[in-house]
């Protein structure tokens, strides 16, 4: 399991430096069809896949990726532990 987490974190860090600053597909379609301004940005800790307080965009994106990966692994671990406890 530790190898899987390490691999996921390595991918999150490395992929961050190859991330494009161009809009993604959904954002591009919304702009093309003229309803991009109707979307709301909302309040988010890591808006646009960036971690606040880190000004280097590559490192900021990598930290956001690592944080997101750890949150997802934590959520799955907690869910599995909860479900396992109910089945015993």
Nearest C-alpha neighbor of 47 from the set 35, 37, 33, 61: 61
**Where are the chain's structural domains?**
1-19+56-88
Q: Would the pLDDT of 79 be above 90? A: yes
Q: What is the mean pLDDT of residues 14-36?
A: 83
pLDDT band with cut points at 50, 70 and 90 for residue 37? confident
pLDDT band with cut points at 50, 70 and 90 for residue 80? very high
What is the DSSP-derived secondary structure letter of residue 22? S
User: What's the predicted TM-score (pTM) here?
Assistant: 0.70
To the nearest whole number, what is the mean pLDDT of the chain?
A: 85
pLDDT number for residue 72: 94
DSSP 13-54: HHHHTT--SS--HHHHHHHHHT-GGGS-----TTGGG--TT-
First to last CA, the chain: 22
């Amino acid at each position: 399991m530790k190898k899987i987490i390490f691999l996921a974190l390595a991918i999150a860090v490395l992929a961050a430096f190859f991330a494009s600053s161009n809009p993604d597909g959904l954002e591009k379609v919304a702009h093309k069809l003229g309803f991009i301004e109707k979307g709301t940005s909302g309040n988010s800790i890591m808006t646009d896949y960036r971690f606040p307080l880190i000004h280097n965009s590559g490192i900021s994106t990598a930290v956001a990726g690592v944080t997101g990966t750890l949150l997802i692994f934590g959520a799955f671990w907690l869910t599995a532990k909860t479900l396992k406890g109910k089945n015993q």
